[in-house]
Amino acid sequence: QLQGPSTQLLDGVHVTITAGPTREPIDPVRYISNHSSGKMGFALAHAAAQQGANVTLIAGPVDLATPPGVQRIDVESAQDMLDTALAQAADIFIGCAAVADYRVADVADHKMKKTANTGAPTLKLIENPDILKTIAAQTKPPMCVGFAAETRDVEAYALDKLKRKKLALIVANDVSNTAIGFNSDDNAVVVLSEDDRVVFEQQSKQMLAQQLIHHIATHYHKHFR
């Protein structure tokens, strides 16, 4: 719906959002990644811009158009995404990206070849930095919002992440239901804070994003300004 400037919830607020998967190289032509479409993060960026926010969208490799009025920065690996996130000033930071938890320890400089002598290679993985946790641990952190995609004990795991990463809000997403979440157009979530729990029923990611931005903005004005 159309909204006049007087009803904009995030006027002058800088919102930084991570979205999509990350891509972790194995060699110059191969990588490890996941099926995140980036739709939820892009929808959030669009909705935040519609509310007057100054939006930076840090996007992993996705096939999506940049929402109007949004500054988009494309990245590949988790380390790129972290470096870019640390270079942004933000009042609200929303970690929506499906960051690869691990990367290959020793990326090959040249395309790996099949060799009869050594057989199938074993990839040694090392843990990636936690982007959201790093941002939330800064001396003057923005209000941090995380996503938790889980297949069981959804809210318990989400609450654990809220506390462990020192987040203001966590969006808990039950991805055991394949009609919602990851690659689909719809989603249904529960948003948790230290002291409240709000259910958002199944709907399009665009509609949901508008409601989530409303909820996030309300929390921001109540607790962070």
Which C-beta is closer to ligand CTP: that of 10 or that of 149? 149
User: Exposure string (b/e) for 138-149, b if CB count within 10 Å is 16 or more?
Assistant: eeeebbbbbbbb
Which of 11, 86, 89, 101 lies at the binding interface for Ca ion (CB under 5 A)? Answer: 101
Is 129 annotated for ligand binding? yes
Instruction: Determine, following the binding rule CB under 6 A, whether residue 78 of this chain makes contact with ligand CTP.
Output: yes
**Nearest of 67, 93, 62 to residue 216 by alpha carbon:** 93
Instruction: Determine, following the binding rule CB under 5 A, whether residue 160 of this chain makes contact with Ca ion.
Output: no
Q: The dihedral of CA 27, 134, 43, 155: what is its sign? A: positive
Is 98 annotated for ligand binding? no
Instruction: Determine, following the binding rule CB under 5 A, whether residue 194 of this chain makes contact with Ca ion.
Output: no
Which of 23, 161, 205, 215 lies at the binding interface for ligand CTP (CB under 6 A)? Answer: 161
Which C-beta is closer to ligand CTP: that of 15 or that of 78? 78
Which C-beta is closer to ligand CTP: that of 40 or that of 52? 40
C-alpha gyration radius of the chain: 18
Which C-beta is closer to Ca ion: that of 101 or that of 196? 101
Does the active-site annotation cover 173?
no
Task: Please choose which of Ca ion, ligand CTP, none residue 161 contacts, taking the beta carbon within 5 to 8 angstroms, the exact cut-off set by kind.
Answer: ligand CTP
User: Exposure string (b/e) for 70-109, b if CB count within 10 Å is 16 or more?
Assistant: bebeebbbbebbbebbeebebbbbbbbbbbbeebbeeeee
Instruction: Determine, following the binding rule CB under 6 A, whether residue 146 of this chain makes contact with ligand CTP.
Output: yes
- Residue ranges in contact with ligand CTP by CB under 6 A: 18, 78, 95, 97, 99, 101, 128, 130-132, 146-149, 161
Catalytic residue numbers? 34
